Chain A
């Protein structure tokens, strides 16, 4: 089935979901080669969590980029990508739809039962507006494709949370990840925040979460959060790292100097050393206490049997406790499309991709943490590979287009050859770089495993599911009485994961608690969530949303 010319006018070459390092790199790579790209992101500014920035505004006294710059790394790369995207938006090759929360993606066939009545005219206030714009220059010519995808997104900038739709021939999904959390007594006290949350307050809002902050959990990210806090003026009594004290971990500088590309880690280590922050390795959180909010955290060493040793515990007064245990890839959208997954390094599922970042679903490319948690440097590489592959798939002007436009407008064939060659070299470089960074990420993941000690410290009265207020005791009881260790049965009987967050926060832990009670390993199967972002019934009832189309097609003669 082919798409009619009028339908093609409504279809983007590539829709990129997520504007973090992976999504940003994919967007720029694809638009650089002449594709028409819509990048859809929930935040007010591009950059994702790693390069989180406040909304660009003109008021005096706003949170300024320069103020948060000291807490960022590789900002030059960010500025290059951000400026390049802005150029593409100005030229009409790309649209940046900021503060749009994607709640569903689905394949659609041309001429299918869903005629998308709204698609006939561009949505008011969408394309061409200040927040999302598309202009006059056409991009991809070439082959027609029988399949396209509908991205359904909620415009979070409007109080009514209007829904819009972006239709595209290929998708690059780069939704990222959030902090993996495990419960401990007192973890639901106000003032206990995720490490990522503390970081986002600094980077996105210019706010220090607390004056005296212990950072605990596992992973190199704790060093980054600790360094940001002390540089901003907080006291960090300790960074509590649960992983085994390998010698390279005692000297984080050595760990990171192993790869010149991650000098970032060495900078954090230097900052922490300069501020005299002690790093307790093979220690973990026993409990947090306070009346109405956290006032102290009790930490203990993990002994030879892998349990926390309460006899050697230390109580540290704090006003904020930051905790993080690695990251959970956001798989809602890949799973909704049927992309295959595998067990990642943490045991949690990650997606399967090939050398071109292609998922197991034709037309769907994946990049960044959904392919396995690996950090921003790897996400940038994966994003660029995915963007280039998506362009080849839609038969956009390709490498030649860019070269022809820039260097040899008079001799298109030579420009084509030069472009092809440059592209091949670039792809080889990217593949090598991805291999190196992936190996490094796997090595890190092997070091920073979550120790099982938390299960022993988890008292029966501790809340595991924060939304539905389901305790560890309730989950254990269900597991024992019903021989239920799988997440679904436990959820149906005890309700963990039935609340607002849909098990995003407690899913890992609830399954571990049930499995541990039965003495079986936790399976951590992928969890599908058909609704990936909150939306109202009124939005659904309002019918099929208007399409945000590449309006350039209506204005030009392409």
Chain B
């Protein structure tokens, strides 16, 4: 079974699944921390409308987990705030 990693943990998936669907299938429900109140978020609308499921994929933040296809070997990491902490001064 192909896998990607989420914060270093291997997540198996079946071709055709999104990153968000594979995470839910693995029992993971949150992968973002909001920028104001630091609240956990994950999949909500599931169809690309709400942007709640934003996540960092291979270093690129603000990817919709519900739309991003799961792919073998990609690195998915929890997104904190805007996902651009590295740009903070």
* Inter-chain contact A469/B17, CB cutoff 8 Å: no
Residue of A nearest to B29 (CB): A190
Cα-based distance from A501 to B87 in the complex (angstroms):
23
In the complex, what residues of A have CB within 8 A of residue B24's CB? 201, 207, 209
Cα-based distance from A102 to B50 in the complex (angstroms):
17
* Inter-chain contact B40/A206, CB cutoff 8 Å: no
* Chain A CB within 10 A, most for which of B21, B29, B42, B51: B29
* Inter-chain contact A190/B30, CB cutoff 8 Å: yes
Q: Which of A198, A206, A208, A292 contacts B30 (CB 8 A)?
A: A292
B34 beta carbon closer than 8 Å to chain A: yes
Contact stretch, chosen from A4-12, A55-63, A233-241, A393-401: A55-63
Known contacts A55-B69, A293-B40: does B17 contact A206 (CB below 8 Å)? yes
Total residues of chain B contacting the partner, CB 8 A: 33
Q: Which of B16, B30, B36 contacts A55 (CB 8 A)?
A: B16
* Inter-chain contact B14/A504, CB cutoff 8 Å: no
Residues of B39-89 at the interface with A, using a CB-CB cut-off of 8 Å, are 39-52, 54, 66-67, 69
In the complex, what residues of A have CB within 8 A of residue B50's CB? 194, 466, 500-501, 504-505
Known contacts A190-B30, A204-B21: does B45 contact A179 (CB below 8 Å)? yes
Interchain residue pairs with CB less than 8 A apart (29): A49-B47, A54-B16, A55-B15, A55-B16, A61-B1, A61-B15, A62-B14, A62-B16, A63-B14, A63-B17, A156-B67, A178-B49, A188-B41, A189-B40, A190-B30, A190-B43, A192-B44, A193-B46, A194-B50, A197-B44, A204-B18, A204-B21, A205-B22, A205-B25, A207-B21, A293-B40, A500-B51, A501-B49, A501-B51
Please give 13 more A-B residue pairs, beta carbons under 8 A apart, in addition to A42-B48, A63-B15, A505-B49: A156-B67, A188-B52, A189-B40, A190-B42, A193-B43, A193-B46, A197-B66, A292-B30, A293-B29, A293-B30, A500-B50, A504-B50, A505-B50
- Closest 6 A-B residue pairs measured CB to CB? A197-B46, A54-B16, A500-B51, A205-B21, A190-B30, A63-B16
Q: Which residues on A are within 8 Å of B, measured CB to CB?
A: 42, 44, 49, 54-55, 57, 59, 61-63, 156, 178-179, 188-194, 196-198, 200-201, 204-209, 292-293, 463, 466-469, 499-501, 504-505
